[in-house]
């Protein structure tokens, strides 16, 4: 088929996005456990990379949502131009925020890129799908993360109110090995599927397949790309999440990680909607820190993070629109 080179370019761009997603979200999975010294940096990153890969094989509901309920690109090679531009915009924003050491949502960047490229190309945007399947979950998940993190930490404080702090911290360092692994599993379950959804949309757009089932090779490729990105680290963002928002200890780290693991599992297995693990862990950390006192949260840093969140969708959309214009100039 004449559009095969363009399809290969889209798949390569999608895997690059998965890689950048991995080193962004490596911070989500391991920042708390490294900061509290529950795990060594090397052990934490290896564990996260492995669990990301395992999670990628556990479902495809989120992939179907991304493939079917965000945009409807034109059929054929023109649709591939739209998808390629969307991925370029998302990758560019991921790299910029990683360089600045700011936790941003790769999920928001992807959807912003898809919408921006679709608008620039006059393609169809499923605004209802964007609102209900993306906007609402993305809005609610940080709020739920913050509230649930607060409640879980209150429960821990009450249950262990008479225990010696040193003993509690030692026990929760062991517990964090489990909670960090569960969170990394949820990351793989959520974020690898977003890459799968774009690749499947490209396959459907070009007629290589008729349905939105995820081929096994797509699962393997997305899992590997994201795991490699996770293994590469994301140390700039880890410092922001692990040290600059609140002063973390093992019980707080366990509470935040457990919160995100539960939310990731529920949204993936029950509702099949994408959420931002970056937003959810950050808000969970804030909620956990607020149980001590509100001043324990470094609100200036939290405000900078929220500003980046607000900029992510429009910025990645603009970058994707620019990328689409450049692609059209190059292909004529």
Give the 3-state DSSP-derived string for 227-271, with helices as H, strands as E and coil as C. HHHHHCCCHHHHHHHHHHCCCCCHHHHHHHHHHHHHHHHHHHHHH
Specify the DSSP class assigned to residue 74.
Answer: P
For 128, the token pair is 């209802």
Q: What does the CA dihedral 47, 271, 282, 194 come to, rounded to 10 degrees?
A: 60
Confidence class of residue 281 from pLDDT cuts 50, 70 and 90? confident
Angle between helices 41-56 and 4-35 in degrees, nearest 10? 140
Residue 244 has pLDDT above 60, yes or no: no
Instruction: Give CA–CA dist 50/94, Å, rounded.
Output: 22
Instruction: Give CA–CA dist 298/125, Å, rounded.
Output: 38
| Half-sphere exposure for 42 (CA within 13 Å, toward CB) | 0
**Tens digit of each residue's pLDDT (9 = 90 or more) over 18-55:** 999 988 776 667 777 877 888 887 888 888 889 989 99
CA 2 to chain centre: 34
Residue-level pLDDT at 224: 95
Residue 2 has pLDDT above 60, yes or no: no
For the chain, give the longest Cα–Cα distance: 72
Residue-level pLDDT at 241: 58
**Tens digit of each residue's pLDDT (9 = 90 or more) over 182-225:** 999 998 889 899 999 999 999 999 999 999 999 999 999 999 99
**Tens digit of each residue's pLDDT (9 = 90 or more) over 61-103:** 999 999 999 999 999 999 999 999 999 999 999 999 988 878 7
Angle between helices 106-120 and 165-205 in degrees, nearest 10? 20
Nearest to 145 by CA among 292, 275, 269, 310: 275
Residue-level pLDDT at 1: 45
Confidence class of residue 279 from pLDDT cuts 50, 70 and 90? confident
Domain spans of the chain, in order of start:
4-331
Q: What does the CA dihedral 322, 324, 325, 330 come to, rounded to 10 degrees?
A: 130
Residue-level pLDDT at 33: 83
For 103, the token pair is 């936790």
Residue-level pLDDT at 215: 96
Radius of gyration for the alpha carbons in the chain, expressed in angstroms and rounded: 19
Is 150 exposed, middle or buried (CB count within 10 Å of its CB: 0-12, 13-18, 19+)?
buried
Residue-level pLDDT at 101: 78
Tell me what the mean pLDDT of segment 127-147 comes to. 93
Residues facing residue 72 across a β-bridge: 124
The pTM of the full predicted model, rounded to 2 decimals, is 0.93
217 Cβ contact list (under 8 Å, min separation 6) = none
Residue 298 φ/ψ, nearest 5 degrees? -80, 90
Instruction: Give CA–CA dist 323/86, Å, rounded.
Output: 8
CA 264 to chain centre: 10
**Strands 124-125, 71-72: parallel, antiparallel or unpaired by DSSP?**
antiparallel
Tell me what the mean pLDDT of segment 293-316 comes to. 80
Residue-level pLDDT at 243: 55
Residue-level pLDDT at 289: 86
3-class DSSP state of 97:
helix
For 325, the token pair is 């214009």
Residue 275 host element (H or E)? none
For 96, the token pair is 């910029």
């Amino acid at each position: 088929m004449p559009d095969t080179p363009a399809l290969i370019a889209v798949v390569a761009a999608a895997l690059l996005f998965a890689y950048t997603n991995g080193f962004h979200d490596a911070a989500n999975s391991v920042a708390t456990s490294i900061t509290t010294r529950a795990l060594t940096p090397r052990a934490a990153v290896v564990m996260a990379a492995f669990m990301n890969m395992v999670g990628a094989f556990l479902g495809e509901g989120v992939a179907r949502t991304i493939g079917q309920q965000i945009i409807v690109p034109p059929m054929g090679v023109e649709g591939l131009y739209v998808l390629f531009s969307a991925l370029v915009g998302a990758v560019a924003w991921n790299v910029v925020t990683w360089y600045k050491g700011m936790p941003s949502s790769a999920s928001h960047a992807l959807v912003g890129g898809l919408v921006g490229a679709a608008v620039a190309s006059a393609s169809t945007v499923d605004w209802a799908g964007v609102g209900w399947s993306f906007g609402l979950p993305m809005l609610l998940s940080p709020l739920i993360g913050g509230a649930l993190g607060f409640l879980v930490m209150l429960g821990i404080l009450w249950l262990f109110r008479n225990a010696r702090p040193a003993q509690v911290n030692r026990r929760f360092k062991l517990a964090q090995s489990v909670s960090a692994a569960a969170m990394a599993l949820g990351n793989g379950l959520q974020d690898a599927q977003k890459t799968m959804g774009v690749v499947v949309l490209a396959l459907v757009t070009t007629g290589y397949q008729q349905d939105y089932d995820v081929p096994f090779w797509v699962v393997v490729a997305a899992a590997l790309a994201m795991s490699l990105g996770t293994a590469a680290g994301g140390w700039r963002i880890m410092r922001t999440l692990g040290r600059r928002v609140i002063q973390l200890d093992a019980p707080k780290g366990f509470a935040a990680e457990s919160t995100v693991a539960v939310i990731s599992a529920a949204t993936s297995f029950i509702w099949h909607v994408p959420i931002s693990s970056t937003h959810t862990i950050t808000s969970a950390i804030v909620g956990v820190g607020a149980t001590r006192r509100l001043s324990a949260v470094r609100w200036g840093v939290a405000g900078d993070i929220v500003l980046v969140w607000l900029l992510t969708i429009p910025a990645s959309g603009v970058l994707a629109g620019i990328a689409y214009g450049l692609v059209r100039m190059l292909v004529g």
